[in-house]
Chains A and B, each alone.
Chain A
Amino acid sequence: MNKIRGLPPEVREPGPGVELGVEDGLLCQLIHSPEFNLFSKSVVFESNFIQVTKPGDWMNVCEGSTTMILGVTSSVPSLPLPNILLMANVTWPQGQFSTGNTPDSAPVITLSRILPLKFVELQICDRLQRILRIRTVTEKIYYLRLHEKHPETVFQFWIRLVKILQKGLSITTKDPRIQFTHCLVPKMSSSSTETTPESSLLLSSQPSESFMLLETKQTSDSFSHFSGRSQLTADRVCDLNILGRPQRFHMEDAL
């Protein structure tokens, strides 16, 4: 008899995240589907956003019913922090939007990008307008406004996620002996245009943490290069000159 005694069967009841549409959502279903079969054992945290223009007017970039779904997940579910950013476009028939799974809504979802979070910086750009700022190592910047039909709680989740990615969790190693010799997405200098209350708060209260980055280590599984050693680092000595010059990155050193 090979059964292991004493372990209760796994019970999966839909949590509040499902009801809020941030877990088991469209993006999760897509990447877990046979068509992609990616990160099938990892939870996906996702929300709908509208891409908006640069700070100031916050105009929608696209007219109509095109929505962007932003999600984070882990290449390996045991990682303490997410290490993958997912971006997808979704079009809703008749412009409708729902966080539920009503079959008659039948949105068309298209996965557009998978980015290792180590190459991405997430910021809360405007807390009141519920706008995230995403910057990649190649200086591609997205301003994304959380969809109006998401409750405020959902944006609070994103604020928490951003802080976790910046500061780490209590279980994240703080071992100072682990050295990181580079910084892929250093924070902009004081001349940064980020003057929103949230970013100002972060910059003023915890300047070192604004340099924190998620670092990951390669393992042998699919997308394995993003897994293993996950931690945040406050790299004050990073070379700011690498901004916009990704040819100087030495990712192998970090893995």
Chain B
Amino acid sequence: MAYAYLFKYIIIGDTGVGKSCLLLQFTDKRFQPVHDLTIGVEFGARMITIDGKQIKLQIWDTAGQESFRSITRSYYRGAAGALLVYDITRRDTFNHLTTWLEDARQHSNSNMVIMLIGNKSDLESRREVKKEEGEAFAREHGLIFMETSAKTASNVEEAFINTAKEIYEKIQEGVFDINNEANGIKIGPQHAATNATHAGNQGGQQAGGGCC
């Protein structure tokens, strides 16, 4: 399917925070409570529409386990967006954000958009990390922030799409050099001639949700 842009995303964060579940909810609109431990990379993809343009999200779901960490670092290259996920019911996953962020900053391009996600918001009774703490961390480090629930699908669409909107805005502002593939953005084959000519329009909307 033709697209104007392709954005590469990477999902990172401690093991068990729900990275694969977020991906499955976004691409397949379903929740799978038990998921195999991720090793290597698992891929997902979906088309969305922003500013009337078809954008393909190529999503790299990585292993969160410490043992696979050194491999995960090699996947940052060429990512336009990162979803940094913690579990609001596990304080330790929040405490490890700094390490993940250091990794992301060190191994990715400096313009990569990072969305901080506090997942499992449906488990309010077991909450260990206040929403305000997530907001403060994001503010301090220049991240976007949302709390999500992969189980109920709350804010899942928004997390992925708002990240894309931010990337798209950076393209419009000329922050991203879209001809440099190291930025994690590729121009669709049919749109190469007309790219970067539509400045200023924002307010993306999500597409029908078909996987691609």
Partners in one complex: yes
Chain A residues engaging chain B, CB cutoff 8 angstroms: 34-37, 85, 110-116, 119, 136-138, 140, 218, 222-226, 246-247, 249-252, 255
- How many angstroms from the CA of A138 to the CA of B181 in the assembled complex? 33
The residue of chain A having its C-beta at the shortest distance from the C-beta of B187 within the complex is A34
Q: Identify which of residues 77-103 in chain B touch chain A, using a CB-to-CB cut-off of 8 Å.
A: 77-78
Q: In the complex, which residue of chain B has the Cβ closest to the Cβ of A253?
A: B67
Residues of B whose CB lies within 8 Å of any CB of A are: 6, 36-37, 39-43, 45, 58, 65, 67-68, 70-71, 73-75, 77-78, 181, 186
How many cross-chain pairs have Cβ atoms below 8 Å apart between A and B?
62
A114–B40 contact, CB under 8 A?
yes
- Give the contacting residue for B74; candidates A113, A119, A225, A250; CB below 8 A: A225
A85 contact set on B, CB distance < 8 A: 40
Partner of B45, one of A110, A119, A252: A110
Question: Within the complex, which residue of A111, A222, A251 is in contact with B67, where a contact is CB–CB below 8 Å?
Answer: A251
**Are B67 and A114 in contact, with the CB atoms below 8 A?**
no
Cα-based distance from A138 to B68 in the complex (angstroms): 12
Say yes or no: B68 contacts A251, CB within 8 Å.
Answer: yes
Give the distance in Å from the alpha carbon of A225 to the alpha carbon of B63 in the complex: 14
CA distance A247 to B67 in the complex (A): 7
Whether the Cβ atoms of B71 and A116 lie closer than 8 Å is yes
Other CB < 8 Å A-B pairs besides A36-B58, A37-B181, 6 of them? A34-B186, A111-B43, A112-B42, A115-B39, A224-B74, A225-B70
Out of A37, A119, A249, name the residue touching B40 (CB < 8 Å): A119
A115 B40 Cβ-Cβ under 8 A: yes
